Amino acid sequence: MLGNVLNPKMGVFYVSFLPQFIPAGHSPVSWTFLLVTIHVLIGTLWSLTLITATRYAPAS
C-alpha cells in the first residue's frame, strides 16, 4: 500500500480515471472518498489472497 502512496502514477490514475464515475450534481468529495475506499478494499483483499495462497503453497 505504501508503494501506491509514493507512486506518482497513482495520482495520475485518480485524477484521470475516477472522475468519470462521479455523478453530476453530487458531492465530488464524498464520491471520491467512496471510490478510493473501494479501491483500497479491493487491493487489500487481493494482497490477503496472495498471502493466504503462498502460505499454503508447498515449499520447494
* Torsion, CA 8, CA 12, CA 50, CA 21, rounded to 10: 160
Query: 37 — phi, psi (to 5°)?
Result: -60, -45
Nearest to 35 by CA among 53, 52, 15: 15
Which amino acid, one-letter code, is at 31?
Answer: W
- pLDDT tens, 2-59? 677 788 888 888 889 888 989 999 999 999 899 889 988 998 999 999 999 998 888 7
Count Cα neighbours of 60 within 13 Å in the Cβ-side half-sphere.
1
**pLDDT given for residue 1 in this prediction:** 59
